[in-house]
Copies of this chain bind each other. A is one copy, B any other.
Amino acid sequence: MHPLANSQDASLRARAASVVPGGMWGDQNAANLPQGYPQFFSRGDGCRVWDVDGNEYIDLMCSWGPVLLGHNHHEVEEAARRQNARGECLNGPTEAMVELAETMVGMIPHADWVQFSKNGSDATTTCITIARAGTGRRKVLVAAGSYHGAMPWCSPSVAGVTTEDRAHILTFEYNDVASLERAADMARGDLAAIIVAAFRHDFARDQEMPTPEFAASARAICDAAGAALIVDDVRAGFRLHPGGSWELVGVQPDLSAWSKAIANGYTLAAVTGSDRFRAAATQVFSTGSFWCSGTAMAAAVATLGIVQRDDVVGHLYRMGTLLREGMSDLSRRHGVAIRQTGPVQMPMILFEGDTDFSRANAFCAATLQAGAYFHPKHNMFLSMAHRPYDIARALVAADHGFRAAAAVRPSAP
């Protein structure tokens, strides 16, 4: 294989380096990826993306989650275009806001109401603020290492964060009931909420589904304390279950945060809540200049309609299973051990004993060159646009990846 063409990407990176700090912000900075990854993209179609040099990839990141049905999905785009032609941003909401809220209340069992915003961080922060307003208390329990957004109370970096920003945050270990109980005890009469990711999908580590005991215990602690149970479904929402990811463990949250896949790539987030927190939601001042823009809401109505009509979750499950089985076969053939964890719809693939990620990086660099976009450390995402042939193409690329990984000595003994 030849290195991918990258002259356009290199030229844009050089320009970006002077006008954007670090050339790019956050986790989408390609400096965090193995050599050879493009920073800049040109277009997407279905489950394929093209970088600015015209290299085409079977995409396993789905734009870090938002692309649920595939790029340029005709029904979503038609709904978006129709609304957009009438107006993107008006003096108030359009009918699409009501349709979307009704759709979500209809499909999400705990949801009696919905409030919209634009970022996952807006939704998680609003959930916590509503929980505090509704309970009159302050302490919030968060799993250590869980990502709930980039606001000072939860950002993975503490640069520019003050101690007070996290004064009322207490941590526990995901899926560890005893640690959750200890944290709740520390909060005593001041427990406002437990916020918990739909499943454990921390950066660069094995994924874990919530155990039924853990989920039941979180619910029981909140019930006993009169606190709010918040499920952060920003990343997993609509890929595991149309009614919310904790339907799988049979536990209803009081509040949930949604974003990413909700509008198949259009900018939108939402908070759903039960009637118990409706009054608190009206007291909290939540607003943003674009929060009632119609296009994203029309796209979301179309997206969630398809989620209910076409068994999107089932399709993702079938494609994820094909990928997981294929990766497992390749792992054995190449004698390179991997761990595949969490739900198949959101694949996490880590190499055994690969503490410095050198095997993962070699795998991903070679796989990319062979035309498939994997991520070495972050969970990936499947879409409705992935068909068996696309998974096959990703696996053919992964065969090159495993060969490259096998040539790297594992970093741990």
Contacts and interface: CB of A to CB of B under 8 A. Distances in A.
A92 B289 contact: no
Interface in A266-315: 266-267, 273, 278-293, 296
Q: Which of A88, A155, A159 has the most CB of B within 10 A?
A: A88
A288 B92 contact: no
B105 A19 contact: yes
A118 B115 contact: no
B63 A89 contact: yes
Nearest to A39: B92
A113 interface: yes
Contacts of A293: 265, 267
A64 interface: yes
B132 A162 contact: yes
A286 B118 CA distance: 15
Contacts of A290: 66, 118-119, 266-267
A24 interface: yes
A288 B21 contact: no
Contact of A280 (B64, B91, B160, B279): B160
Contacts of A289: 63-66, 119-120, 234, 259-260
Contacts of A19: 98, 101-102, 104-105, 112-114
A16 B259 contact: no
B167 A49 contact: no
Copies of this subunit: 2
A284 B22 CA distance: 11
Contact of A44 (B87, B138, B168): B87
B373 A20 contact: no
A159 B285 contact: yes
A371 to B, nearest CB: 14
Contacts of A52: 94-95
Nearest to A111: B19
B162 A168 contact: yes
Interface in A1-40: 12, 15-16, 18-22, 24-28, 30, 38-40
A161 B129 contact: yes
A298 to B, nearest CB: 12
Contacts of A267: 89, 118, 267, 290, 293, 296
A73 to B, nearest CB: 10
Interface in A64-80: 64-67, 71-72
24 contacts: A15-B98, A16-B97, A19-B113, A20-B97, A21-B279, A24-B93, A25-B286, A26-B288, A28-B92, A38-B92, A44-B87, A52-B95, A64-B91, A66-B89, A89-B266, A118-B119, A118-B267, A118-B290, A119-B288, A125-B151, A129-B159, A164-B165, A267-B267, A267-B293
Contact of A114 (B20, B134, B167): B20
Interface string A100-134: 01101100000011110111111001001111111
A385 to B, nearest CB: 13
